[in-house]
């Protein structure tokens, strides 16, 4: 495998099954490395295999997020082909795509009403105009956007927190939901009037944090008169995780919305109504302020207009009941597969499992109601189901994402076949899951180990030790275009991917043990992983390098001030100083939960495991360090990289600072990604070269 293969593979995402079960639509992104650009098309495939996958859009722009109409004849999608992101439609029986929206504030995430006569979509608008009639609000939004674009003074003024998210400034806008009526003509669909802002006011109606977002953040009620959606907190949104399900009428003009989950001070998200309209399911957490709390699957009876019915058999003082209370892992994506059956994904030991749970009329789930199925190993995401067909995107470390189809007889087949030919030409690194590495507390740690292509057990190889981000995350048997273990192994390294304390998929207690203890048990778990690697006969224990991003980058910094076991370190968009991190990151709830409160309330907790407190140890160990940090990273702000690099340079530690001025927490632009890999592999080649040696 070559780095360039990462740009040759076709990138598959966002699956939707037609209501009649005959078709699957999905998006395919191709990378043009020379032009430093991508283009995304909508593909269509038949579930019976009679029609090979084919592109039904080909604008050369970004056509994404396909959604079938209730009658299976039309597909909604979003596209920037007209110069800004808008909602479009295309008929399955032919014809050109038609633009349905023309908002100056753009339009995304369209979904259908049950009768197919209207759609809902999201748009980021200036809230001060949101109560005006549409023509007036649109004109006012456009005027203000033009003023911002043409202003002579480079100034931004903020009156509250959450003025920036991930990699962009909010500019005072709010994400609102709009409803647009449609009518048919001989060529397809067209608007029947102007869009209506049904969530006016100074509040977001779509998750502002991706942590609480899902593949479906809102839906119509069964009778089409209401919208149920995931709303950010009413107040304290920068330090509260009280996301909840809200409801409004589709002709709503009030700035006050009905809360459906007011009984829960933690997060609720991702509403999905059963095909018969009798139940609603969603993901729910229980601990306020903790974004890594276990997600459970909750279900409640629902009225046709979208209001919930109280569950009389529930002993909880909350809406609905949990179907997964006895499952010690988080729920990821889920779908209704019948009127009373749900399929959901959960993490398990570095892979995903598909679970089935049945809902009876009493909503009294039992442990025996659930059963799990593991498909192909690896990762499952972007699930969609209708008429006995379920499609999803699946990947492994040695298989880029593809669309798979689970038919009524439960056979699973690769439907898209987008990367089969290129994959067959690659000599993949072999991988194994080691599950028995002893760590303190009488526990065991799991770790993935990849051996380079052409591996010879009689020779010794250098190691790259990769630490995942989160910290509440995991190295899973899935594909990544940013940190692809296969690309590292192809350079001639044994690649180790440990899942220490804090990793998901090993029980919630294991996840929670990282909070307040980043440099404690987790660090010692990782050192136990290195101890294990050094016992392997094919590992050159004198040539072990380490790399990581975000929390993984933090751990590189902690390694740098705590040990000399590594030949070199690579830290990407990391945390160096917990004290300055709190005041500059965008989502305050994370730091406040991890450290038990505010910095002035618990200064000792912010300092205990902050690498900057031990900065003098950099000069003691002098481990060569590559620092990568980006200007638009608002999660782990650029100052973290500046502070670290200054401490390294001041003490004469071999170091290099790579700064991408137009990237955020990740490096996404193709040319930048190529340069990122050149820098990373160049650093490894300089300080921990990838040649093997005789034993």
Give per-residue pLDDT as tens, 100-141.
999 999 999 999 999 999 999 999 999 999 999 999 999 999
State the DSSP H helix or E strand holding residue 143, giving kind and residue range, or none if neither. Answer: helix 134-150
The answer on pLDDT for 362 being more than 70 is no
Mean per-residue pLDDT of the chain: 94
Partners of 443 in the beta sheet?
439
For residue 371, the tally of other CB atoms under 10 A from its CB is 10
53, 39 Cβ separation under 8 angstroms: no
Render pLDDT for 103-112 as a digit per residue (tens, 0 to 9): 999 999 999 9
- Hey, what CATH class is 427-687 in? alpha beta
The answer on pLDDT for 223 being more than 60 is yes
Identify the sign of the CA torsion 411, 412, 414, 416: positive
Structure tokens at 336: 């209704």
The answer on pLDDT for 51 being more than 50 is yes
Least confident piece of the model among 342-356, 564-578, 620-634: 342-356
Distance CA 172, CA 539 (A): 54
212, 243 Cβ separation under 8 angstroms: yes
219, 110 Cβ separation under 8 angstroms: no
Structure tokens at 128: 């001060």
| Sheet containing strand 399-406, strands side by side | 379-386, 389-396, 399-406, 412-414
The answer on pLDDT for 604 being more than 50 is yes
Contacts of residue 28, Cβ cutoff 8 Å, sequence gap at least 6: 10, 11, 12, 40, 41, 42, 43, 55, 416, 418
State the DSSP H helix or E strand holding residue 144, giving kind and residue range, or none if neither. Answer: helix 134-150
Relative to beta strand 196-197, strand 188-191 is unpaired
Query: CB burial class (10 A; 0-12, 13-18, 19+) of residue 83?
Result: exposed
Banded model confidence at residue 310, pLDDT cuts 50, 70, 90: confident
* Strand extents, DSSP E, 468-560: 494-499, 539-549
Contacts of residue 555, Cβ cutoff 8 Å, sequence gap at least 6: 467, 518, 522, 523, 526, 546, 548
Pick from 626, 529, 651: nearest CA to 574? 626
Structure tokens at 392: 């999803």
The answer on pLDDT for 367 being more than 60 is no
Counting other chains too, the contacts that 222-225 makes at CB distance below 8 Å and 24 or more residues apart are 222/114, 222/273, 222/277, 222/302, 222/304, 222/306, 223/114, 223/277, 223/304, 223/305, 224/113, 224/114, 224/115, 224/117, 224/118, 224/250, 225/249, 225/250, 225/304, 225/305, 225/306
CA angle (498, 503, 509) in 5-degree steps: 135
Average pLDDT over residues 355-377: 60
Least confident piece of the model among 12-16, 60-64, 91-95, 200-204: 91-95
Burial code (b: 16+ CB inside 10 Å, e: under 16) for 199-229 equals bbbebbbbbbbeebbbbbbbbbbbebebbbb
Least confident piece of the model among 149-158, 404-413, 482-491, 618-627: 404-413
Distance CA 691, CA 680 (A): 16
Structure tokens at 517: 């203890």
Contacts of residue 394, Cβ cutoff 8 Å, sequence gap at least 6: 375, 376, 378, 379, 380, 381, 401, 402, 404
Distance CA 394, CA 418 (A): 12
pTM: 0.95
Question: Does residue 671 sit in helix, strand or coil?
Answer: helix
Q: Which residue has the higher pLDDT, 188 or 84?
A: 84
pLDDT of 693: 63
pLDDT of 409: 64
Question: Does residue 590 sit in helix, strand or coil?
Answer: helix
The answer on pLDDT for 361 being more than 90 is no
Radius of gyration of the chain (CA): 25
3-state secondary structure 487-507: HHHCCCCEEEEEECCCCCCCC
Average pLDDT over residues 310-317: 64
At 196, give phi and psi (nearest 5°): -120, 130
Identify the sign of the CA torsion 143, 233, 240, 111: negative
273, 323 Cβ separation under 8 angstroms: no
Banded model confidence at residue 314, pLDDT cuts 50, 70, 90: low
pLDDT of 546: 98
Pick from 561, 558, 527: nearest CA to 544? 527
Average pLDDT over residues 49-70: 95
Distance CA 438, CA 278 (A): 48
Banded model confidence at residue 365, pLDDT cuts 50, 70, 90: very low
Contacts of residue 157, Cβ cutoff 8 Å, sequence gap at least 6: none
% of the chain beyond a pLDDT of 70: 96
CA distance readout (Å), 216 to 122, 207, 230, 305, 678: 12, 11, 9, 19, 37
Banded model confidence at residue 368, pLDDT cuts 50, 70, 90: very low
Render pLDDT for 514-573 as a digit per residue (tens, 0 to 9): 999 999 999 999 999 999 999 999 999 999 999 999 999 999 999 999 999 999 999 999
């Amino acid at each position: 495998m070559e780095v360039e293969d990462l740009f040759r593979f076709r990138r598959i995402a966002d699956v939707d099954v037609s209501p009649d079960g005959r078709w699957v639509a999905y998006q395919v992104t191709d990378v043009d490395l020379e032009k430093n650009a991508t283009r995304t098309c909508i593909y269509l495939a038949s579930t019976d295999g009679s029609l090979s996958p084919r592109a039904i859009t080909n604008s050369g722009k970004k056509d994404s997020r396909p959604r079938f109409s209730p009658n299976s004849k039309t597909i909604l999608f979003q596209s920037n082909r007209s110069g800004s992101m808008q909602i479009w439609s295309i008929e399955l029986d032919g014809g050109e795509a038609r633009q349905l929206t023309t908002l100056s504030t753009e339009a995304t995430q369209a979904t259908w009403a049950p009768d197919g006569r209207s759609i809902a979509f999201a748009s980021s608008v200036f809230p001060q105009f949101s109560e005006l009639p549409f023509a007036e609000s649109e004109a006012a939004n456009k005027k203000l956007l033009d003023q911002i674009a043409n202003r002579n003074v480079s100034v931004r003024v903020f009156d509250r927190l959450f003025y920036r998210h991930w990699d962009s400034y909010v500019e005072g806008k709010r994400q609102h939901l709009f409803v647009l009526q449609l009518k048919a003509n001989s060529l397809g669909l067209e608007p029947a009037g102007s869009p209506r802002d049904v969530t006016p006011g100074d509040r977001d109606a779509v998750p502002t944090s991706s942590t609480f977002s899902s593949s479906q953040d809102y839906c119509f009620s069964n009778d089409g008169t209401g919208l149920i959606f995931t709303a950010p907190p009413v107040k304290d949104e920068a330090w509260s995780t009280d996301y909840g399900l809200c409801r409004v009428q589709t002709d709503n003009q009030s700035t006050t919305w009905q809360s459906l989950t007011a009984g829960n001070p933690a997060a609720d998200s991702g509403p999905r109504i059963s095909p018969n309209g009798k139940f609603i399911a969603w993901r729910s957490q229980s601990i306020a302020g903790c974004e890594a709390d276990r997600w459970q699957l909750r279900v409640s009876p629902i009225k046709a207009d979208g209001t919930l019915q109280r569950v009389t058999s529930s002993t909880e003082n909350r809406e609905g009941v949990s179907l997964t209370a006895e499952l010690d892992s988080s729920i990821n994506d889920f779908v209704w597969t019948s009127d009373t059956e749900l399929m959901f994904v959960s993490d398990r030991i570095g892979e995903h499992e598909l679970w089935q749970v049945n809902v009876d009329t009493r909503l009294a789930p039992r442990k025996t109601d659930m059963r799990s199925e593991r498909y192909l190993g690896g990762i499952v995401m972007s699930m969609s189901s209708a008429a006995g067909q379920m499609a999803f995107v699946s990947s492994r470390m040695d298989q880029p994402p593809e669309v798979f189809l689970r038919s009524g007889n439960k056979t699973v087949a690769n439907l898209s076949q987008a990367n089969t030919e290129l994959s067959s030409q690659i000599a993949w690194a072999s991988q194994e899951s080691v599950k028995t590495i002893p760590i303190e507390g009488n526990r065991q740690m799991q770790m993935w180990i990849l051996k380079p292509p052409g591996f010879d057990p009689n020779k010794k190889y250098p190691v790259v030790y990769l630490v995942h981000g989160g910290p509440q995350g995991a190295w899973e048997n899935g594909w990544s275009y940013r940190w692809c273990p296969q690309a590292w192994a192809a350079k001639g390294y044994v690649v180790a991917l440990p899942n220490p304390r804090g990793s998901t998929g090993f029980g919630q207690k294991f996840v929670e043990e990282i909070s307040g203890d980043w440099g404690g048990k987790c660090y010692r778990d990782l050192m136990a992983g290195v101890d294990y690697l050094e016992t392997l006969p094919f590992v050159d224990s004198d040539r072990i390098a380490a790399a990581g991003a975000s929390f993984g980058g933090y751990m590189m910094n902690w390694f740098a001030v705590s040990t000399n076991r590594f030949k070199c370190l690579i830290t990407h968009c990391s945390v160096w100083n917990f004290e300055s991190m709190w005041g500059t990151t965008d989502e305050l709830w994370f730091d406040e939960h991890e450290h038990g409160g505010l910095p002035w309330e618990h200064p000792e907790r912010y300092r205990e495991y902050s690498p900057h407190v031990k900065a003098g140890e950099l000069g003691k160990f002098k481990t060569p360090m590559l620092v990568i940090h980006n200007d638009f990273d608002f999660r782990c702000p650029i100052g973290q990289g500046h502070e670290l690099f200054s401490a390294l340079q001041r003490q004469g530690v071999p170091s290099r600072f790579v700064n991408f001025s137009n990237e955020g927490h990740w490096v996404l632009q193709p040319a930048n990604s190529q340069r990122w890999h050149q820098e990373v592999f160049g650093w490894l080649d300089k300080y921990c070269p990838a040649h093997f040696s005789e034993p």
